[in-house]
Amino acid sequence: MAQAAVGPDVWVFHGMGGRFTSGVFTTREKAEAWIMKHELTGILTRYPLDVSAYDWALETGAFRVKKPEQTSAEFIQKFTSASQEHYHYDPHDIG
């Protein structure tokens, strides 16, 4: 279940197969309009501003460190959380 965001946030779109973010939006509605306009496939995720996904997950209790390696730079720089509010898009599944 997605955790509620606290404070200012943005919506970040990662296209399927993309290595980097392809869009950042101030509202879900703006992001979805762009996604639908271009018939994109990918994931739209809500990110809080001024805090990493790793720190957010620790602060909200969505993640707990269980092994020493989970505090390493390599782990933190790859960290994502399914607990962040997110939506999957595929124009072939709509309709």
CA 8 → CA 11, 46, 51, distances in Å? 11, 10, 10
Residues 70 and 53: their CA atoms lie apart, in Å, by 13
In a domain, 37, yes or no: yes
In a domain, 4, yes or no: no
Domain count, the chain: 1
Domain that holds residue 24: 9-90
25-41 tens-digit pLDDT: 999 999 999 999 999 99
Burial 11-33 (b: 16+ CB within 10 A, else e): bbbbbeeeeeeebebeeeeebbe
pLDDT of residue 93: 77
In a domain, 95, yes or no: no
Name the pTM for this structure.
0.83
Q: What is the mean pLDDT of residues 42-69?
A: 97
